[in-house]
Structure formats: structure tokens, C-alpha cells
Amino acid sequence: MKLIGHAAVFNSRSVDLGGFREIIAPGAFARTISDGHPIFAVHHHNMADLLGSSRSRTLKLSEDDRGLYFELTLPESSLGRDIHELVKRGDLASMSFSFFVNGAAGESWRETSSGEIERTLKDVILLEISTVALPAYPASKVSARSAPSSNNQDARARMLRRYMTARLQAA
């Protein structure tokens, strides 16, 4: 069972976070992904609901043109199965993340022409990504994938053998 998607989307605005909005700049996660510190995947920012980690390689993170892309292999547990089902049904369709800003240069603040305060995240230390029902960044997305079962793999192998046998006999 796998989840894939974008935990964060570049250049998309957050909801109002209490008097300001955030935007994530491309490259904001590059350093934190490459530095090797453990990053976790959890449910609703609750570390007790651990779903995976970069340390165990059940969580893979990368930056692409869209944002912070992830692939998460869920645990074979009741929590893993429940999360997978909730994502498949569409009850959980979004992601979130926890972070620290990496120094003063890791963020910038400005007032927009409409008078809103906007923070741009440029360099963050990522702590965790999280499946959530109500995201701060509505553009984040998650989807479920099921790994092929061994029965499906066996069926594919049988079909391939039959195909190859038929080709050899026709030659």
C-alpha cells in the first residue's frame, strides 16, 4: 500500500494563517532533503500515528517542478490500512507539513498591494509531512496506490510464459 502526491506546492498561497498567508518558493526543501536528517510521515501531525520515515526509506521525498513530491509505503497495520482506505475514498485528500525556517534568509515578508501580509518560505528544515483533512495549503494532494498482490504477480508471470510459449511455437 502506497501513498503518493505533493505535501507542498510551490508558488501556491496558504489559507489565512492568522493575519498572514504563506507561499513556498521553489527550492525551499532542497537542503533539508539532501542533509540526511530523519523526516517522518504521520497522520494529522500526530507523531503517535507514525506512517513512515526517510530513515527507514519508507518515505521518499524529492522536489519536482510542482513542489515537494513524496512516495510513502504504508505500514501493514490497522492504521496503515485505515489511512489507505480513507485516501482511496477521498476522505483524506490533502497533505501538510511541519518545519522550522532555516535562519533569517530562509523566509521573507512583504505587504501585498491589497494590504495582506505574505511570508515566502525559501529554506526550511522539514520535520514531518502529514495526511490531513483540512490543509493550510489547499493545493497539496495525496492519492492511494495498491502494490500488486502476489496473486496478480503470479497471474502476470503465467500470462507472460503463455505468450512466450505461443511465440516460440509460432516461429
Residues 14 and 22: beta-carbon distance below 8 Å? yes
Residue 149 pLDDT exceeds 50? no
Q: Which three cell numbers stand for residue 30?
A: 532542497
Please compute the mean of the pLDDT values over residues 11-39 and round it to a whole number.
92
The grid coordinates listed for 134 are 483540512
CATH of the domain at 148: 3.20.16
Q: What is the mean pLDDT of residues 16-36?
A: 93
Q: What is residue 93's predicted lDDT score, i.e. its pLDDT? A: 87
pLDDT at 139: 82
Beta strand spans in the chain (E): 2-9, 21-24, 40-43, 46-53, 59-63, 67-73, 94-101, 107-111, 117-121, 124-132, 141-145
**Global pTM value:** 0.79
What does the pLDDT look like over 29-75, one tens digit per residue? Answer: 999 999 989 999 999 999 999 999 999 999 999 999 999 999 999 99
Name the residue range of residue 147's domain. 2-170
pLDDT score, position 140: 82
Q: What pLDDT digit, counting tens, does each position of 102-143 carry?
A: 988 999 999 999 999 999 999 999 999 999 988 888 888 888
Domain total of the chain: 1
